[in-house]
């Protein structure tokens, strides 16, 4: 149910037949981008007001995100953003680094010139935002960069596994400062150069290092 032309926060309300799917997508983005932190309560009524929808699709979204591992439903406390214990976080980073490395290796062997141009375009857009100090849209561009690398790897099952893992682990990779953002896009460029040159081993190494370094802040924080 949509209650007005604009939401309480000034954004356009969600208006679509598959309302719950769109609420799921909006909440997933808020969690994985770091807007909601691990342990934050997810209050149905407050979220419904923010998105200008009824509580029903919000409740459905929280249940779906609990299945994905992004939300925990605690007795007498309600829904909260899931937290990673140190061991689980490190295991997830190890798996993702290994899969990203394998995909980069395949991409170096299979990437076409047309795909290289598409990835270069994303890199240019990302670098322009970094240079201008803009953060809006960088998460989307980061996802596009990796999605195109998955396409370049040309292994549909591997790509499906990595997208699923990326959604579950994305909160581990929220950039914390301008230096982290700059390094992320420099590493993207280096991975693409290795892919473009056909150096499969080096592309795999860079991709694995990229994942491990990007998660290091979160891992260090958990260790305290």
Q: Which residue has the higher pLDDT, 33 or 127?
A: 127
Residue 8's pLDDT is 45
Query: 13-81 and 86-222 share one CATH topology?
Result: no
Convert the pLDDT of each residue in 54-73 to its tens digit.
999 999 999 999 988 889 98
For the domain with range 13-81, which CATH number is right: 1.10.10.10, 3.40.50.150, 1.10.287.1080, 3.40.309.10? 1.10.10.10
Report how far residue 56's alpha carbon sits from residue 53's, in angstroms, rounded to the nearest whole number: 8
The two tokens of residue 59 are 């409740």
pLDDT at 220: 79
Query: How does residue 1 score in pLDDT terms, banded at 50, 70 and 90?
Result: very low
Taking residues 12-34, what's their average pLDDT?
A: 75
**Domain ranges across the chain:** 13-81, 86-222
pLDDT higher for 59 or 139?
Answer: 59
Alpha helices in 111-215 (DSSP H): 113-132, 138-153, 156-169, 178-197, 200-214
Q: What is the pLDDT of residues 156-212, one digit of tens each?
A: 999 999 998 887 787 787 766 788 889 999 999 999 999 999 999 999 999 999 999
Q: Tell me: the pLDDT tens digits for 179-188?
A: 888 999 999 9
The 3-state DSSP class for residue 85 equals coil
Q: State the burial class of residue 158 (Cβ atoms within 10 Å of its Cβ: 0-12, 13-18, 19+).
A: middle
Q: How far apart are CA 40 and CA 90, in angstroms?
A: 22
Q: Kindly report the average pLDDT of the chain as a whole number.
A: 87
Which of 15-24, 47-56, 205-214 has the lowest average pLDDT? 15-24
Question: Judging by beta carbons within 10 Å of its beta carbon (0-12, 13-18, 19+), is residue 222 exposed, middle or buried?
Answer: middle
The H-assigned helical ranges of 69-137 are: 86-110, 113-132
Distance separating alpha carbons of residues 121 and 21, to the nearest angstrom = 30
Look at residue 175 in the predicted model and tell me its pLDDT: 60
Confidence band for 216, pLDDT divided at 50, 70 and 90: confident
Position 2 scores a pLDDT of 39
CATH number assigned to the domain with residue range 86-222, chosen from the 4 options 1.20.120.530, 3.10.129.10, 3.30.499.10, 1.10.3720.10: 1.20.120.530
Report percent pLDDT > 70 for the chain.
89
Q: The tokens 């790509």 sit on which residue?
A: 159
Maximum separation of any 2 CA atoms in the chain, in Å: 56
């Amino acid at each position: 149910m949509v209650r007005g032309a604009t939401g309480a926060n000034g954004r356009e309300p969600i208006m679509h037949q598959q309302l719950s799917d769109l609420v799921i997508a909006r909440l997933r983005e808020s969690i994985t981008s770091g807007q909601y932190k691990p342990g934050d309560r997810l209050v149905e009524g407050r979220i419904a007001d923010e998105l200008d929808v009824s509580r029903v699709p919000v409740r459905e979204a929280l249940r779906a995100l609990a299945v994905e591992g992004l939300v925990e439903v605690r007795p007498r406390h309600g829904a909260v953003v899931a937290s990673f214990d140190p061991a689980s976080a490190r295991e997830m980073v190890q798996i993702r680094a290994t899969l990203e490395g394998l995909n980069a290796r395949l991409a170096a062997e299979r990437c076409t010139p047309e795909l290289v141009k598409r990835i270069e375009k994303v890199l240019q857009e990302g670098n322009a935002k970094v240079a201008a100090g803009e953060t809006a849209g960088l998460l989307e561009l980061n996802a596009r960069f990796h999605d195109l690398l998955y396409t370049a790897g040309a292994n549909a099952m591997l790509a499906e596994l990595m997208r699923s893992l990326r959604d579950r682990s994305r909160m581990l990779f929220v950039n914390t400062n301008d230096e982290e953002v700059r390094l992320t896009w420099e590493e993207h460029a280096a991975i693409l150069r290795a892919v473009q040159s056909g150096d499969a081993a080096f592309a795999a190494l860079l991709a694995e290092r990229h994942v491990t370094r990007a998660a290091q802040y979160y891992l260090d924080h958990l260790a305290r």
